[in-house]
């Protein structure tokens, strides 16, 4: 379990490092709840409760996604066009953007934190 979390953290760090090295600038990330995905447009609700606002992202079909489906298992990697077919409304989504504000990687679900079971 520790190795899983360490590998996921390394992946997120690597994505940020590669983006920063290629563009000379750091990317950002946005976390929210899944609302919809249609025709390459991902919409998530950012914020809490009634204050949540929809935010849309243009997502290419081949953008890498990591789906955290079950505790203790490795995340499932897939292309965005396939990964969003079974995602339910309200699922946590983390969109990682590069320096040009384009979607680089999407994490679906919540990765386990150290000590979680």
d(CA 28, CA 50): 24
> Which class does domain 2-108 fall in?
mainly beta
How many residues comprise the chain? Answer: 117
In the numeric block, the tokens 């990964």 are attached to 83
Pull the structure tokens for residue 93: 């989504």
Q: What is the pLDDT of residues 59-110, one digit of tens each?
A: 998 899 999 877 677 888 999 989 998 899 999 999 999 988 899 999 998 8
Q: Kindly report the pTM of this predicted structure.
A: 0.70
On whether the CB atoms of residues 73 and 84 are closer than 8 A, the answer is: no
d(CA 69, CA 30): 20
């Amino acid at each position: 379990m520790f190795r899983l979390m360490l590998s996921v953290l390394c992946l997120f760090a690597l994505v940020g490092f590669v983006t920063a090295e290629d563009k000379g600038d750091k990317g950002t990330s946005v976390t929210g709840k899944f609302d919809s995905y249609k025709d390459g447009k991902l919409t998530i609700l950012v914020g809490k409760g009634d204050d949540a606002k929809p935010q849309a992202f243009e997502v290419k079909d081949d953008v890498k996604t990591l789906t955290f489906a079950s505790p203790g298992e490795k995340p499932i990697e897939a292309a965005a066009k396939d990964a969003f077919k079974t995602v339910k409304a309200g699922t946590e989504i983390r969109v990682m953007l590069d320096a040009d504000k384009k979607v680089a990687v999407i994490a679906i679900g919540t990765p386990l934190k150290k000590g979680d079971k």
